[in-house]
Amino acid sequence: MFEMNGAGFAIDGKPLLQPTTLRFDEGRVYGLIGHNGSGKSTLLKLLARQQPFSSGDILLDGRSLREWEERPFARRVAYLPQHLPPADNLLGRELIGFGRFPWRGLFGRTRNEDKAQVARAIALTHTEAFADRLVDTLSGGERQRVWLAMLLAQESRFILLDEPLAALDVAHQVEVMSLVHDLSRQLGLGVIVVIHDINMAARYCDELVALHGGRVLTQGTPGELMHEETLKAIYGLPMRVIPHPQSAHPIAIV
């Protein structure tokens, strides 16, 4: 599990994330919601060790993140940033293979186990049809699935996703979040995702953590947070919450 014990982050004395106490378990999907600048990406980067916390502590399996060496940490936690690095001239299969970095043996040689895990990741994400195409020729949804496959090849128990739906159309947003939800269930993965669309978050996440002004405003299940008063406190504008006509899960409309 991940445990944040009063962990916060400040630059030149200005807090970007107030001291925060949260717990994230394997086998559940957590959605970080709130305004731009509310602290969502900062919180995710602290968990991913992309920036150091300046107060409190963060524990992974009972050990401070400061104590974890790079490869053992990468075997437990995989992180996909909002702005993806270039993948020029790489086939999908080659990009997915980069996920094996924490596990490769002497001199970084590719073993049969590495090939097997890449093939497994391709099968789990249904990327067989474009695994041998150049990544930069893929559609947005296809490209995101290849990056997810790379994280799966890493065999981590936690997957951290910073706005994976950015620049995707609605159909691909549903495709990606449905895949993330199913993989969490199937493999028992803990997934923590920064997500702007409250309805996508409510549909595919088990728990929501709402941030505002660099602090946790409230947290709970979608059923607990999807109320008009709560959403107004989070987003600062009135919303109406109604049941979905088919599934009956709550949806918010402005």
Q: pTM of this prediction?
A: 0.93
Under the banding of pLDDT at 50, 70 and 90, the label for residue 244 is: confident
* Mean of pLDDT over the chain: 92
The residue written with tokens 């109406």 in the block is 240
Residue spans of the domains in the chain: they are 2-76+158-253, 87-155
How many C-beta atoms lie closer than 10 Å to residue 178's C-beta?
Answer: 13
Query: How many C-beta neighbours within 10 Å does residue 88 have?
Result: 8
Mean pLDDT of 11-35: 93
Of the candidate CATH numbers 3.30.420.10, 2.40.30.10, 3.40.50.1580, 3.40.50.300, the domain formed by 2-76+158-253 belongs to: 3.40.50.300
What local confidence, expressed as pLDDT, does residue 228 receive?
92
Q: Cα(118)–Cα(97) distance, rounded to whole angstroms?
A: 6
| 102-150: pLDDT as tens digits | 887 655 677 888 999 999 999 999 999 999 999 999 988 899 999 999 9
Give the whole-angstrom CA distance, residue 201 versus residue 208: 7
